[in-house]
Amino acid sequence: MAQRIIPLVDHRTAALPTPHAAVPSPAGTLVDARGRPLRDLRISVTDRCNFRCSYCMPKEVFDSQYAYLPHSALLRFEEIARLARLFMAHGVRKLRLTGGEPLLRKDIETLIEQLAALRTADGQPPEITLTTNAALLTRKAQALKDAGLNRVTVSLDGLDDTVFRRMNDVDFPVAQVLAGIEAAQTAGLTPIKVNMVVKRGTNDAQILPMARHFRGSGVVLRFIEYMDVGATNGWRMDEVLPSADVIRLLQTKFSLVPLQASAPGETAERWSYAGADGLHDPALGEIGVISSVTQAFCGDCNRARLSMDGKLFLCLFAGQGYDLRALLRGSDGGRPPATDADIEAAIAAIWQGRTDHYSELRASLPPEATEGMRRVEMSYIGG
């Protein structure tokens, strides 16, 4: 049978802009057309995953016939590290490895070692984090730490085994994810964040049990609104539980006080648990809500995303990426591989032209206006 190819990704690659003659000095001063600096690079290292979360890689689409990228299409570790170095020259300080499931990429520790050796324009090491479903974390936590990984974010959508197995759709048990979190704590990949995507009617009954479980554990639990990323998850607004409702629900059982954002561009609204005196009790820790649907936070979005095949996306909801792999490798038509200076200039020109603000548009336009926009899959450019 012929292989079925579903055009999930808009393969029309955006044309690379002509680099400006004057590239800003590599001191982290690069800002986009809306005045937003470039600080955070999310690197997707594989399009494969061992889970089939229905909101991300539904089984019906990502089945045995699905055409994943061949290995030769993936950026090699040296290529990723080279691009990361050039992004850091433009102000990036934080590198997040994601996917697909990043722990499925063979020898990921080697990539982490290469990234950990990089330095920002002012001589600082990058903050390196990784988002994972934790299926392989128990086995890999210590090696990841030894390679130079600073922290992990673990995705976990509930504590009830039946609910969780249904959501990951590969019958994976909660207990192994909890073991992975424990292994990461033991290895010192802390503070650990746990992301729970909330789907109304599917796992909203898990909000309070998750809060109770992680309160006082040192783990920061964050509730994420189910997003209209990609084109395969059949997203519907009535399955989104607004963060304001999550907070209201939590407040029926816990005393919460709002916290300041810890860094500009932070996506989560932070709340801490209060002690008997009504004040923030550090021993009880904090929670966060990420309101990607009900509250646009494009205003200070400082994140760029690099796909596993070297395309640069300026927004989670973008339909097109800029083909940096073509610059790295040169083209069959005889264009030679680009120099560092060429690539730096291209990155600068791309970022300076950036106007993306999808979530704000979604909030201000009628649903019909944004529904038909082509979007890449979350498993392609990571969360």
Q: Which residues bind ligand SF4 (CB under 6 A)?
A: 49, 51-53, 56-57, 99-101, 133, 155, 297-298, 301, 303, 315-317, 356-359, 379
Number of C-alpha atoms within 13 angstroms, CB side, residue 295?
14
Contact call for residue 49 and ligand SAM (CB under 6 A): yes
Confirm if 381 and 236 have CB atoms less than 8 A apart: no
Q: Which residue, 167 or 346, has its beta carbon nearer to ligand SAM? A: 167
Q: Which does 224 bind (CB under 5 to 8 A by kind): ligand SF4, ligand SAM, none?
A: ligand SAM
Q: How far apart are CA 93 and CA 25, in angstroms?
A: 16
Q: How far apart are CA 113 and CA 101, in angstroms?
A: 19
Q: Which residue, 56 or 147, has its beta carbon nearer to ligand SF4? A: 56
Residue found under tokens 């950036």 = 354
Q: How far apart are CA 108 and CA 66, in angstroms?
A: 24
3-state secondary structure (DSSP) of residue 279: coil
Contact call for residue 37 and ligand SAM (CB under 6 A): no
Q: How far is the CB of 102 from ligand SAM (least distance, A)?
A: 6
Strands 94-98 and 40-44: parallel
Amino acid at 150: N
Q: How far is the CB of 19 from ligand SAM (least distance, A)?
A: 31
Q: Which does 357 bind (CB under 5 to 8 A by kind): ligand SAM, ligand SF4, none?
A: ligand SF4
Q: How far apart are CA 149 and CA 173, in angstroms?
A: 26
Q: Which residue, 111 or 156, has its beta carbon nearer to ligand SF4? A: 156
For 236, which DSSP code? Answer: -
Residue found under tokens 């063979």 = 106
Q: Which does 226 bind (CB under 5 to 8 A by kind): ligand SAM, ligand SF4, none?
A: ligand SAM
Q: How far is the CB of 96 from ligand SAM (least distance, A)?
A: 9
| 195, 206, 302, 320: which one binds ligand SAM (CB under 6 A) | 195
Q: Which residue, 196 or 250, has its beta carbon nearer to ligand SAM? A: 196
Closest among 212, 64, 192, 222 to 132, alpha carbons compared: 192
The residue number whose beta carbon is nearest to ligand SAM equals 383
Bridge partners, 132 (sequence order):
154
Q: How far is the CB of 195 from ligand SAM (least distance, A)?
A: 4
Q: Which residue, 139 or 335, has its beta carbon nearer to ligand SAM? A: 139
Q: How far apart are CA 248 and CA 227, in angstroms?
A: 20
Q: How far is the CB of 340 from ligand SF4 (least distance, A)?
A: 27
Q: Which of residues 266-295 bind ligand SAM (CB under 6 A)?
A: none
Contact call for residue 197 and ligand SAM (CB under 6 A): yes
Contact call for residue 56 and ligand SAM (CB under 6 A): yes
For 233, which DSSP code? Answer: S
Q: Which does 187 bind (CB under 5 to 8 A by kind): ligand SAM, ligand SF4, none?
A: none
For 18, which DSSP code? Answer: P
Confirm if 120 and 126 have CB atoms less than 8 A apart: yes
| 133, 206, 232, 320: which one binds ligand SAM (CB under 6 A) | 133
- For the chain, the first-to-last Cα distance in angstroms comes to 33
Contact call for residue 46 and ligand SAM (CB under 6 A): no
Closest among 127, 133, 130 to 109, alpha carbons compared: 130
Give ∠ CA 41-153-300 in degrees, rounded to 5.
40
Contact call for residue 232 and ligand SAM (CB under 6 A): no
User: What is the contact surface with ligand SAM in residues (CB under 6 A)?
Assistant: 49, 55-56, 98-99, 101, 131-133, 155, 195, 197, 224, 226-227, 229, 233, 378-379, 382-383
